[in-house]
Structure 1
C-alpha cells in the first residue's frame, strides 16, 4: 500500500512539474515594436501594454528599439520580414494573421531567449493580439508567465463588432464618467474584440446631475479615443422634428452637417427610422440623402445607415420601393433593432448591395427586444429593467440564431450592468464557435486575476441560473449565494473592483428577494385563512386582522444583514463607477434605469392591493355584498376542490399554462413601477393557452377570466359566448361550459386575437388570471 501511495505521489509530482514547465517567464522581458506601426497607434499601444502590465504586476517593462539578450514581447505586422533583425515565425500564406483585423499569438523558445510574438494583419490586428495576451497570460505581482503551448491565429468573422456607449443622462452609469474612464472602458471592450463604438451625441435634454463635461466636449473626446486606438466611431442621430415641414427639414440638415464638421472621426451614421421620430420614409429618405452629402464632405469614408424601427407595413413597403426605384449609393445598409421587421425577412428582402447590421438589446431584461425567459415575477418587479444581468448562455444563443443574417452588430446598451454580455457578444462576433465558459474564464482572468478565473466563471454561470424558473423551486439561489460569499471572503483585495462588486450585489439581491417572496407569500396565505372566517369574526375585524398579518412583511428584521450588504454594494458601485441604483439617493434619471435600491422592499404579496380593496369593501352598504367580495379575495388562488386557478404569467402559479409570457414584469409600468394593483395583473399574456386534464366528466364547469379588454375564448377550438363580460382592468368575464366539452375529462383553452392594430401595444387586450370552476 505504501509503495502504491509513493508511486501515486511521484506521478502527481511529475505532472505538476510538467505542467509548471509549460509556462514561460516574461517577467523581465523588453517590449519590441515594429517600426511600421505608425502614430498614433504606436504610442497608444505601447502605453496600453505598459500600463495594463503594471496595473496587474507592478512591473515596468521597457521598450527596446534594437535586439538585446532579454526575453521579448514582440509586436509586429504579419508582412514584416523581421523585427530588429530577428526573423518572424513562418506563417502559412493563408494564415488568418494576414487578414484584415487578423492576428497570431505564439511563443518561440528555440532562440537564446524566449519571444512572445503578437502579430497583426493590420493595426487592429496588433491590438487584438494584445487582447489575446492579456486574456491568456498569468499575470500576478512581479510575474508574467505564458503557456508555451498556447498559440492561435484568428481572423474575426464579422466585420462590425461594436457597442453603443451613448453619453446621455438616461444612462445609469457612464453619464458620471470622465474621458479617462470612458477610454479605459473602450479599451477593455477592444481587448475582447470590439472594433466600433457608437455614441448618442445630439440629444437636447438638459445635462444630467452627474455629467462632468458638456455633450459637445465629450463627443469630441470619444471620437478622439476611437481615433487613437484605431476603432470605428459611429453616431446614433435621429430626427425628432417634422421633416414634412420644409423649413424644419433644412434646419435639421444644417444641424447634422455642423455636427459632422466638428467631430474629428466618424465612420458610420445610424439613423433610427421611427424610434424616436414619427416621420414617413418619403421624408426620411430625402433627408438621409441630404445629410449623407454633408457627411461625405467632412468624412469621405463614412457610411449612412437607417433602421425601419417603428415603421408600419405600408412604410416598410415604401422604403423598399424607394430602394428598388433609385438604388441609392449613399446608403450603406439597414439596421435591425427593437420594433423593426425581423432579421430574416429584412436580410432576404434587402438588395444584396446593401449591408445589414443587428442592433441587439443585450442590456434590458424586460419591455425589450429579448426579455429574460422564465423570469420569476419577484425578480421582475424588484430587479427591473437594468439590473446587473450576466446572461452569457442566453445571449450566446441569440447571437448564434441571428448573426448569420447580418454583417455584424453594434449592441444597444445604457450602462455597465451588462458588461459580461458585451464581452460574450464581442467574442462570439470574432469567433462564433468560442465556448461560452472559456470566454468567462478569460473575462475573469483579465479583470480579477488567473488565480480566481475558473471559480468566477462558474459563479457567473450560477448567477444566470438563478433567474430560471420559480424562485421557490430554485435551490441553486442559496447555493450560489454561499459560493459567492465564500469568494468574497477569500479575495478581499478585489473589493474595490466594480465588476466584482456587481456580481456580489447580484448574489445578495437574488437571495434577499427569494427569501422575501417565500415569507411574504406565506403571510398572505395566512391572511386569506383569516378572511375565510369573516362571517364568524366580523367583516371589519377580519379585514383588520388580515391586513395586519400581510403587513408583518414591513416590520420584520429578517435578513437585515443581507439587506444592509446590498445597500453597501450600491454605495460602493456609485463610488467606483457612478452606478445609480436609486433615484432619490443617487439621482438616477428614472426608476427603471437600474434603480434597484428603490424596489428592494417592493411588496411580493398583495398587501397594497388588499388595503385598497378593503377600503372599497368598507363603503359597501350591505354586509352580504361585503362578505361576497371578501370570499372572492380569500379564495382567489384557491377556488376549492375540483376547481383550478392559473396566474397566466407567473411561472410558479400557472401549471396549466402551456404558453409563456414574452415579458416577465409590470408592462403597464404604473406609478414608476410602484403599482398598487394585484401582482397577477401586473403581468399578462395576450393570447394564452391552457390545458386541463383529469376533469370530472359528469360535472358542470364554468370559466372565469380576469384581464383587460377583449377575451375571445375558445374551448377545444370552439368559440364560447360569455355570460358575463366586463372589459375594465382586473374585471371578470365568465363563460358557462356545455357538458360535451368535458366528457373526455380534458379541455384546451385558447384565445383569438382581436383586431387592435390601431391601438398602442399598452392598450391591447390582456389576460391575467384564469379559473376553471366546478359548479
Structure 2
C-alpha cells in the first residue's frame, strides 16, 4: 500500500514538473542593473520593471539592495559582471540573443542565490526581455514566480515592427487621451515586440472636441516618449497641396522643417504618394529630396519613405526609372499599403539597396485592404467598419503570407478597437512560427492576470470564430456568449479594464445581432405569406398587414436586455478609454469611425424597402398592375416549385453560387450607412458563377437578373440574348433559355466583363440577385 502511495506521489510530482518545469520564487528579490547601461535609459527600465511588478503583485521590489537571496538583473551582452555576479556563459544555442534587439532570459544559481538575468544585445533588447518576463511570469498577489522552462534566447525576425497612432480628430479614441495614456500604450506595445510608433502631425488639422492637449504639443511629447523607451518615431506626412506650385512647395517644406526641429527624436518620414494627394512623382520626388536634406540636419539617421498608393502605371514606371537613373542615397525605401502595387512585385522590382515596408490595415473590417472573410452581412451592416475586431488567426495568416517580401511593417490603425491585432502582428514579426493561441495566452496573462489567461485566450479565439459564415448556422455564437458571461461574473475585478470591456461588448453585440436577425427574418417570411394572399385580401389590405408584421421588429424588438448591456459597455468604454461609439452621443468624427451604437437597430429584414415599395404600388392606378408587383415582392426569395433564387452574396441564400464576394458591404455605404435599399441589393458580385443541377430536362426556363449596369450572360459558355434589359438598380433583365441547355438537367452560368475601365468601381456593372424561373 505504501509502495502504491509513493508511486502515486511520484506520478503527481512528475505531472506537475511536466506542466510547470521548475518554479523559482522572486517575491523577495532585489532589482539590479549593470553600470554600462546608458542613462537615462537604465533608470527608465528599472522604474518600468519595478512599476509593472508592483501593479500586478502589490510588491515593490527594492533596487540595488545588497544581502538579498534572489535578484532580477538587467544587463548588456557586453557586461562582464553585475555587483560581483558574472554573466552566464553564452552557449552556441544562445547566439540569437546577440543579434540586434535580441535578449537572453535565463535563471542562474550562484552561491545559493537565485538570479534571473535579462540580458539585452542592446538597449531595446533589455526592454524586450522585460516584456517577455512580464508576459510569461506568474505575477499574482504578493507572488513573483518564474518557470525555468521559459528560459530563452531570442531576436526578432523582422527589423521594423510598428503601429500608426495618430493624434487626430478621425481617431475613435486616441483624440481623448492624455500623456499618461499614450505612454502606457507605447509601453504595452513594446512589451509585445513593437519597436516603432508612427504619428500623423499634418493631417486633420481641426481639433477634436475630445482633445485635452494641443496637437502640436502632443506630437512633440510622443517623440519624447519614444526617445525614453528607445522606440523609433515615424511620421506619416502626405501633401494635399499642389507641389507643382513653387510657393506651395516651399510652404509645405517649411512646415516639415519646423516640425523636425521640434522633435527630440525622428527616425522615419513616410510620404503616401496618392492617398491622400494628387501629385505626380515628378513633383513628389524633388520634394522628398528637399525634405531629406532638411531632415538630415536635425536627425542624421532618419529615413525618407514613399508609397505608390493611388499611382497610375505611368507614375509607377516614372518612379522606378528615376530610381534606376539617379540611385538616390537620400531615399530609404518603399511602403506598400492599400491601393499600392502588390507586395511581391514591389520587392522584386525595387533595387536591393532600398528597404520595403508593409503598411497593413489592421483596423477595418470592410471596404478596406483586408476585409473580414466570409462575414455575415448582418454584422457588416450593424457592427461596421471600426468595431472591436480581434482576429488573431486571420491577421497572423496575412502577416506570414506577406512578411517575406518586406523588412517589416508599421500598421494602419485608427483606435484601440484593433488592440489584439496589433499584438498578434508584432509577435508574428518577432517570430512567425509562434503559435497564435500562445500569443493570446500571453496577451490575456499580461492584461487580465494569470488566473484567467487560458480562458480569456480561448474566449478571444471564439470571438473570432463568431464572424465566420452565416450567423444562422454559427452555433458557436451563443456558446461563446455564455462563456464570456461566465467570465464576466467570475471576474468583477476586471470590469474597469478597457480591453476586457471591449471583448465583453463584442460577445453581447454578436449574440444580439444573431437573435435579432433570426427574429426579423422570420417576421418578413410571415409578411410574404400575407402578400401571397393579396388576391383575396386586396392589394391595399395585404400591404398594410404585411407592413404591420415586419414593423413588429420596432414595436417589440428582440432581446432588449442584451442591447442595454451593449449600451452600458459603450458608456463604460467612453469613460475608460474615450472610445466614441456614436456620433450624436459621443461625438465620433464620422459614422464609419466606430459608431456602432448608431447602427445597432439597423433593419435586418427588408421593412424599410417594403415600405418604400408599397408607396410606389399604391400610386399604381390598375389593380392588376398592383397585384403583379406584389407577387414579385412576395416571391422574391421563394419563386415557387421548380424555380430557383440565389442572393449572389449570401452563402445561405445563394447555394448555387460558386464564387464569393470579397467584402461583406461592397456597396452598402449609401446614406451614411442607413440605406433603405433591399438587403440583397447592398451586396454584389461583378462576375458570379453558378451551377444548377436536377433541372427538368423537358422544362422551359428563363433567367432573371437584378443588378446594375450590364449583365453579359453566358450559359454553358454560350452568350445569351435578353428579351428584357433594364440597367437601373433593382431593375430586371430577362433571358429565355433554349431547351437545349437544360436537356441534360443542368446548366452553368457565368458573365463576361464589360469594358468599364473609364468608370469608378462604384459605377461598374454588378449582379445582386438571380432567378432561374420555370415557366
- TM-score range (shorter-chain normalised) is over 0.9
Cross-structure match for 2:87: 88
State the shift of 1:561 in Å: 1.4
State the shift of 1:14 in Å: 6.5
Cross-structure match for 2:507: 507
Contact 1:708 1:729 in 2 (8 A): yes
Question: Which stretch has the larger CA shift, 151-160 or 281-290?
Answer: 281-290
Equivalent residues in 2 for 1:569-584, closer than 5 Å: 569-584=569-584
Deviations along 1:323-351, whole A, 9 cap, x unmatched?
Answer: 11111111111000000011111111111
State the shift of 1:40 in Å: 2.4
Contact 1:381 1:666 in 2 (8 A): no
- Distance (Å, rounded) in 2 between the aligned partners of 1:5 and 1:526: 68
User: Given the alignment of the two structures, is residue 250 of structure 1 paired with residue 250 of structure 2, yes or no?
Assistant: yes
Contact 2:716 2:748 in 1 (8 A): yes
Partner secondary structure for residue 131 of structure 1: helix
- Distance (Å, rounded) in 1 between the aligned partners of 2:649 and 2:192: 38
Equivalent residues in 2 for 1:379-390, closer than 5 Å: 379-390=379-390
State the shift of 1:641 in Å: 1.0
Cross-structure match for 2:473: 473
Equivalent residues in 2 for 1:123-202, closer than 5 Å: 123-202=123-202
Residue 330 to residue 366, structure 1, CA distance change in 2 (3 Å): same
State the shift of 1:718 in Å: 1.9
- Distance (Å, rounded) in 1 between the aligned partners of 2:259 and 2:765: 44
- Distance (Å, rounded) in 2 between the aligned partners of 1:393 and 1:672: 31
Cross-structure match for 1:688: 688
Equivalent residues in 2 for 1:717-756, closer than 5 Å: 717-756=717-756
Equivalent residues in 2 for 1:568-607, closer than 5 Å: 568-607=568-607
Residue 564 to residue 5, structure 1, CA distance change in 2 (3 Å): farther
- Distance (Å, rounded) in 2 between the aligned partners of 1:193 and 1:754: 48
Cross-structure match for 1:78: 77
Partner secondary structure for residue 772 of structure 1: strand
Deviations along 1:31-56, whole A, 9 cap, x unmatched?
Answer: 00111111221121111111111111
Cross-structure match for 1:296: 296
Residue 19 to residue 751, structure 1, CA distance change in 2 (3 Å): closer
State the shift of 1:288 in Å: 1.0
User: Given the alignment of the two structures, is residue 62 of structure 1 paired with residue 76 of structure 2, yes or no?
Assistant: no
- Distance (Å, rounded) in 2 between the aligned partners of 1:85 and 1:6: 43
Residue 3 to residue 516, structure 1, CA distance change in 2 (3 Å): farther
- Distance (Å, rounded) in 2 between the aligned partners of 1:621 and 1:246: 65
Cross-structure match for 1:436: 436
Structure 2 gap segments, 5+ residues each: none
Cross-structure match for 2:224: 224
- Distance (Å, rounded) in 2 between the aligned partners of 1:352 and 1:13: 55
Partner secondary structure for residue 233 of structure 2: strand
Cross-structure match for 1:636: 636
Question: Which stretch has the larger CA shift, 22-31 or 761-770?
Answer: 761-770
- Distance (Å, rounded) in 1 between the aligned partners of 2:287 and 2:149: 56
Deviations along 1:578-620, whole A, 9 cap, x unmatched?
Answer: 1111111111111111111111111000000000100111111
Deviations along 1:362-400, whole A, 9 cap, x unmatched?
Answer: 111000000000000110100010111110000011011
Question: Which stretch has the larger CA shift, 694-703 or 189-198?
Answer: 694-703
- TM-score norm. by structure 2 comes to 0.98
- Distance (Å, rounded) in 1 between the aligned partners of 2:191 and 2:676: 46
State the shift of 1:5 in Å: 9.3
Question: Which stretch has the larger CA shift, 244-253 or 308-317?
Answer: 244-253
Partner secondary structure for residue 331 of structure 1: coil
Cross-structure match for 2:347: 347
Deviations along 1:309-335, whole A, 9 cap, x unmatched?
Answer: 011111111111111111111111100
Partner secondary structure for residue 363 of structure 2: coil
Residue 166 to residue 622, structure 1, CA distance change in 2 (3 Å): same
Residue 446 to residue 615, structure 1, CA distance change in 2 (3 Å): same
Cross-structure match for 1:424: 424
Cross-structure match for 2:40: 40
Structure 1 gap segments, 5+ residues each: none
Partner secondary structure for residue 113 of structure 2: coil
User: Given the alignment of the two structures, is residue 547 of structure 1 paired with residue 547 of structure 2, yes or no?
Assistant: yes
Contact 1:668 1:762 in 2 (8 A): no
Partner secondary structure for residue 310 of structure 1: coil
State the shift of 1:114 in Å: 0.7
State the shift of 1:421 in Å: 0.6
RMSD: 1.7
- Distance (Å, rounded) in 2 between the aligned partners of 1:5 and 1:501: 47
Question: Which stretch has the larger CA shift, 341-350 or 658-667?
Answer: 658-667
Deviations along 1:541-572, whole A, 9 cap, x unmatched?
Answer: 11010000001111115412111111111111
State the shift of 1:404 in Å: 0.3
State the shift of 1:8 in Å: 5.0
Cross-structure match for 2:619: 619
Residue 7 to residue 590, structure 1, CA distance change in 2 (3 Å): same
State the shift of 1:517 in Å: 0.3
Partner secondary structure for residue 397 of structure 1: helix
Contact 1:135 1:442 in 2 (8 A): yes
State the shift of 1:731 in Å: 1.3
- Distance (Å, rounded) in 2 between the aligned partners of 1:189 and 1:696: 62
State the shift of 1:165 in Å: 0.5
Partner secondary structure for residue 691 of structure 1: strand
- Distance (Å, rounded) in 2 between the aligned partners of 1:646 and 1:271: 45
- Distance (Å, rounded) in 2 between the aligned partners of 1:22 and 1:658: 54
- Distance (Å, rounded) in 2 between the aligned partners of 1:21 and 1:729: 65
Deviations along 1:727-746, whole A, 9 cap, x unmatched?
Answer: 11121111111122222222
- Distance (Å, rounded) in 2 between the aligned partners of 1:218 and 1:737: 67
State the shift of 1:723 in Å: 1.5
Deviations along 1:662-685, whole A, 9 cap, x unmatched?
Answer: 110253411111110000111111
State the shift of 1:516 in Å: 0.3
Partner secondary structure for residue 771 of structure 2: strand
Question: Which stretch has the larger CA shift, 757-766 or 134-143?
Answer: 757-766
Partner secondary structure for residue 661 of structure 2: coil
Deviations along 1:390-446, whole A, 9 cap, x unmatched?
Answer: 100000110111000000000110011110011000000001111100000000000
- Distance (Å, rounded) in 2 between the aligned partners of 1:17 and 1:525: 60
Residue 138 to residue 672, structure 1, CA distance change in 2 (3 Å): same
Partner secondary structure for residue 375 of structure 2: coil
Residue 631 to residue 21, structure 1, CA distance change in 2 (3 Å): closer
Residue 667 to residue 109, structure 1, CA distance change in 2 (3 Å): farther
Cross-structure match for 1:22: 22
- Distance (Å, rounded) in 1 between the aligned partners of 2:411 and 2:479: 32
- Distance (Å, rounded) in 1 between the aligned partners of 2:721 and 2:5: 80
- Distance (Å, rounded) in 1 between the aligned partners of 2:752 and 2:169: 42
Partner secondary structure for residue 95 of structure 1: helix
Residue 19 to residue 327, structure 1, CA distance change in 2 (3 Å): closer
- TM-score norm. by structure 1 comes to 0.98
User: Given the alignment of the two structures, is residue 760 of structure 1 paired with residue 765 of structure 2, yes or no?
Assistant: no
Residue 351 to residue 427, structure 1, CA distance change in 2 (3 Å): same
Residue 204 to residue 599, structure 1, CA distance change in 2 (3 Å): closer
